[in-house]
Amino acid sequence: MIRDTATLLGRSLRHIARSPDTIITTAIMPVAFMLLFVYVFGGAIRTGSDSYVNYQLPGILLITIASGIAYTAYRLFLDLQSGIFERFQSMPIARSAVLWAHVLTSLIANLISLVVVVLVALVMGFRSGANFWAWLGAAGILVLFTLALTWIAVIPGLTAKSVDGASAFSYPLIFLPFISSAFVPTDSMPGPVRAFAEHQPATAIVNTIRDLFAQESVGNGVWIALGWCLGVLLVAYVLATVTYRRKIA
Amino acid sequence: MTLRQPSMLAGMSGEAIRVHGLEKSFKELRVLRGVEFEVVKGSIFALLGSNGAGKTTVVKILSTLLKADGGAAQVNGFDVGTQAAEVRKSISLTGQFAAVDEILTGRENLVLVARLRHLEGAGAIADALLERFSLSEAGGRRVATYSGGMRRRLDIAMSLIGEPPVIFLDEPTAGLDPEGRIEVWAAVKELAKGGTTVLLTTQYLDEAEQLADRIAILHEGRILVNGTLQELKRLLPAAEVEYVEKQPTLEDVFLSLVGSRK
């Protein structure tokens, strides 16, 4: 199974290498949001932190992943459309290899996009004194978040009837960080909105990454963030696997 | 009214595909209503029918992509329901739309399939097939730049990797120009010469006539007739002798003007 997955992963990575625009377009929107928030709104937002670039970067990274996984659904959908999916299914290869190749491709493509966004943030003045372990922790949470969202993306990728349908699911995910602590402190929000913002996954994840970058204690928030990532990952994985089994049965 | 020669019932060893009482419904729509046929090893068998007759459904069940609701089917001696993995080792499927990767080159497509079949020397296998299907020059180009006929040839070449004993070709010439069709026909004949069993579906009568050792007509989910071309012709009243001027067909004219490659 590992061998088949590696072969198919090589194929998908060639796709990305030959159309690097998917990585660029994934990074463009988050970078545009970052410019907008830092240079337009940022001056008016009181966050209690010295640097607004530092404050908003974790939220931007989540938006990057949410827009990147739309391409995962898109690539899977195209494989089904073109008939090459059926060719693979009629061959003596591990049944799950086709899905895992797409999932790993999604992970690699998103990590590249994240690096691009972080580089732009560095140019805009983002600085962190975080040590290696803090960076590793932040990267680990982003990897888990990417995997969770990727397994969500597999479901519309397998079931969509049109290209638009395959990527539309990502819009609410892209907007989730806006109703969180990603760009403004939650205590400035009215009651019900604040209640939602403080109990949704983006806030826990954003706060944890922000604390890691700022070399502050992450406290209990890290467990809530990990709980959300692993919980969503598990549920999405099970649902995607069931959808896949139904598809190939 | 199935036509069968006694010699065709020789026994299991002679048949690469056995289909018995196959049934399949999609919600209320009964697509297959008890399909029966057998395909002798090393022969070309054509499943002829109009759109929606159920041809693709039969091929999908035989290639383990769909599960039948009823009946049984064996490919190369293995049951498609309970021994799916063994069946997949015995077959190759060329679906209705050329299932090739457009972003990869022709050669990369062949190498990909050879690797997935765990074969040694994937590069050499790819080069040999490119040569055999007159694609050597195009091998380094992306498939997105290929013509319909070239894609189909590449598609069929991909199906030959690993030399599976049974090959399914679902409408192999749909959407091709006359030259492309002749190229594909030549490739299919080549296959059967090598001892491969070919089951092809088509809605073109002349294609079945050109290629198939036996022809079965699938209509509304049942096999109406099954026999050799000669047997099927005998179903109609004996031919009357008439004198008619031999007119070239439009295809003859077209091919002589554009200069067929074969």
SS3 for chain A is CHHHHHHHHHHHHHHHHHCCHHHHHHHHHHHHHHHHHHHHHHHHCCCCCCCHHHHHHHHHHHHHHHHHHHHHHHHHHHHHHHCHHHHHHCCCCCCCHHHHHHHHHHHHHHHHHHHHHHHHHHHCCCCCCCCHHHHHHHHHHHHHHHHHHHHHHHHHHHHCCCHHHHHHCHHHHHHHHHHCCCCCCHHHCCHHHHHHHHHCHHHHHHHHHHHHHCCCCCCCHHHHHHHHHHHHHHHHHHHHHHHHHHHHC
Distances in Å between the Cα of A31 and the Cα atoms of A36, A55, A69, A180, B199 are: 9, 15, 16, 19, 54
| Chain B: residue whose CA lies nearest to A89 | B65
CB A185 within 8 A of CB A210: no
The residues pairing with B22 across neighbouring beta strands, listed in sequence order, are B35
* Nearest CB to B89 within list A7, A92, A249: A92
ipTM of the complex: 0.84
- The tally of domains found in chain A comes to 1
Q: Please state the rounded mean pLDDT for residues A22-26.
A: 82
Using DSSP, state whether B206 is helix, strand or coil: helix
Cβ–Cβ below 8 Å for B99 and A82: yes
Using DSSP, state whether B80 is helix, strand or coil: coil
Q: Please state the rounded mean pLDDT for residues A142-151.
A: 95
Cβ–Cβ below 8 Å for B95 and A83: yes
Which stretch of DSSP H or E encloses residue B24? strand B15-26
Residues of chain B with Cβ-Cβ distance to A249 below 8 Å are: 67
Residues of chain A with Cβ-Cβ distance to B170 below 8 Å are: none
Distance CA A85, CA A99 (A): 10
CB A199 within 8 A of CB A216: no
Using DSSP, state whether B54 is helix, strand or coil: coil
Write down the residue that tokens 């939650």 correspond to. A186
The pLDDT tens digits for A45-92 are 877 777 888 889 999 999 999 999 999 999 999 999 888 888 898 898
pLDDT at B18: 93
CA proximity to A146, closest of A181, A183, A115: A115
Using DSSP, state whether B171 is helix, strand or coil: coil
Q: How confident is the model at residue B238 (pLDDT cuts 50, 70, 90)?
A: low
CB A26 within 8 A of CB A75: no
Residues of chain B with Cβ-Cβ distance to A14 below 8 Å are: 103-104, 108
* Nearest CB to A83 within list B92, B99, B113: B99
Closest CA of chain A from B213, distance in Å: 25
The pLDDT tens digits for B102-118 are 999 999 999 999 999 99
Cβ–Cβ below 8 Å for B112 and A4: no
Distance CA A204, CA A230 (A): 13
Q: How confident is the model at residue B3 (pLDDT cuts 50, 70, 90)?
A: very low
Cβ–Cβ below 8 Å for A88 and B116: yes
Cβ–Cβ below 8 Å for B65 and A89: yes
Cβ–Cβ below 8 Å for B116 and A91: yes
* pLDDT at B141 > cutoff 80: yes
* Nearest CB to A90 within list B67, B91, B108: B91
Closest CA of chain A from B9, distance in Å: 29
Q: Which conformational region is residue B220 in: left (phi greater than 0), alpha (psi within -120 to 50 degrees), or beta?
A: left
Residues of chain A with pLDDT > 90, as a percent, come to 51
Q: Give burial (CB, 10 Å; 0-12/13-18/19+) of B250.
A: exposed
Which stretch of DSSP H or E encloses residue B44? strand B44-48
Q: Which conformational region is residue B93 in: left (phi greater than 0), alpha (psi within -120 to 50 degrees), or beta?
A: beta
Q: How many CB atoms lie within 10 A of CB B111?
A: 23
* pLDDT at A17 > cutoff 70: yes
A85 CB contacts (<8 Å, ≥6 apart)? A79, A98
Residues of chain B with Cβ-Cβ distance to A86 below 8 Å are: 65, 93, 95, 99
* Nearest CB to A84 within list B64, B101, B108: B101
Picking from B56, B102, B115 by the largest number of A CB atoms within 10 A of its own CB, the best residue to mutate is B115
Q: What is the DSSP letter of B58?
A: H
Whether B143 and chain A come into contact, CB under 8 Å, resolves to: no
CB A174 within 8 A of CB A153: no
pLDDT at B239: 63
Residues of chain A with Cβ-Cβ distance to B115 below 8 Å are: 7
Picking from A21, A22, A91 by the largest number of B CB atoms within 10 A of its own CB, the best residue to mutate is A91
Cα-Cα end-to-end distance for chain A: 19
Picking from A87, A88, A96, A102 by the largest number of B CB atoms within 10 A of its own CB, the best residue to mutate is A87
Q: Measured at the alpha carbon of residue A127, what is the angle toward residues A123 and A128, in degrees to the nearest 5?
A: 145
* pLDDT at A166 > cutoff 80: yes
pLDDT at B11: 42
Distance CA B157, CA B142 (A): 16
* pLDDT at B94 > cutoff 90: no
Cβ–Cβ below 8 Å for A90 and B93: yes
B242 CB contacts (<8 Å, ≥6 apart)? none
Q: Within its chain, how far is the Cα of B86 from the centroid?
A: 20
| Chain B: residue whose CA lies nearest to A85 | B99
* Nearest CB to A18 within list B92, B95, B103: B103
Distance CA B74, CA B173 (A): 26
Residues of chain A with Cβ-Cβ distance to B99 below 8 Å are: 82-84, 86-87
* pLDDT at B262 > cutoff 80: no
Q: Please state the rounded mean pLDDT for residues A149-160.
A: 93
Q: Please state the rounded mean pLDDT for residues B215-220.
A: 89
The pLDDT tens digits for B7-31 are 343 344 588 999 998 999 988 888 8
Residues 190-249 of B with CB under 8 A from A: none
Q: Within its chain, how far is the Cα of B66 from the centroid?
A: 18
| Chain A: residue whose CA lies nearest to B95 | A83
Q: How many CB atoms lie within 10 A of CB A226?
A: 16
| Chain B: residue whose CA lies nearest to A16 | B103
Q: Measured at the alpha carbon of residue A31, what is the angle toward residues A27 and A36, in degrees to the nearest 5?
A: 155
Residues of A with CB under 8 A from a CB of B: 3-4, 7-8, 11, 14-15, 18-19, 82-84, 86-93, 248-249
> In terms of DSSP bridges, do strands B15-26 and B70-75 run parallel, antiparallel, or are they unpaired?
antiparallel
Sign for the CA dihedral angle at B139, B142, B148, B154 comes to positive
The pLDDT tens digits for A175-219 are 899 999 888 888 888 888 888 988 899 999 999 999 898 888 778
Q: Which domain holds residue A211?
A: 2-248
Write down the residue that tokens 């209320």 correspond to. B28
Using DSSP, state whether B195 is helix, strand or coil: coil
Distance CA A4, CA B192 (A): 30
CA proximity to B255, closest of B202, B181, B205: B181
Distance CA A58, CA A209 (A): 6
Q: What is the DSSP letter of B231?
A: H
